[in-house]
Amino acid sequence: MTLQLLFQREFVPGEGLEARPVNMLRDFIHDFEMEAEVADYAGTLFRGVCDNLPDIDGKIEAHARHWKISRMSLVDLSILRIAIFEIVFAVPNMKPAIAIDEAVELARLYGSTDSASFVNGILDPIARSL
């Protein structure tokens, strides 16, 4: 759910960034039936990524050799943003190995053939730098 919301956020015109995450999350939960616990966790991730986006993107740029965020696949970028939020900003922080494994698996499922290694190649040095 969080991956879908972050991907969708890049394409939503109009509203200010402050209102957009709240409205998108509300609409998504309304449109899709899901357990409250899943919706709560996904909402925490989504709001957390949105609230910390400049810092998260700064970490991506600092560790992405020869890649600018504007050139990255939106799927890969969204996966990276979720994992970095979980590792660095979430309270309590997720163990880096778990967040990286989940991100790599999402990249395998939803990204290109190179996405898993790309995501791992950026997340591993971020985790080691903590």
Per residue of the chain (130 residues), give pLDDT as tens: 788 888 888 776 555 444 466 667 767 777 777 777 887 888 889 889 989 999 999 999 999 988 899 899 999 999 999 999 999 998 787 899 999 999 999 999 999 999 999 999 999 999 998 8
**Cα–Cα distance, 124 to 19 (Å, whole number):** 33
Please give the C-alpha separations between residue 17 and each of 52, 72, 114, in angstroms, as whole numbers. 12, 21, 31
| Dihedral sign from CA coordinates of 27, 32, 33, 36 | negative
Could you tell me the pTM of the whole model?
A: 0.87
Class of domain 2-128: mainly alpha
Contact 113, 98 (CB under 8 A): no
Q: Specify the DSSP element, H or E, that contains 91.
A: none
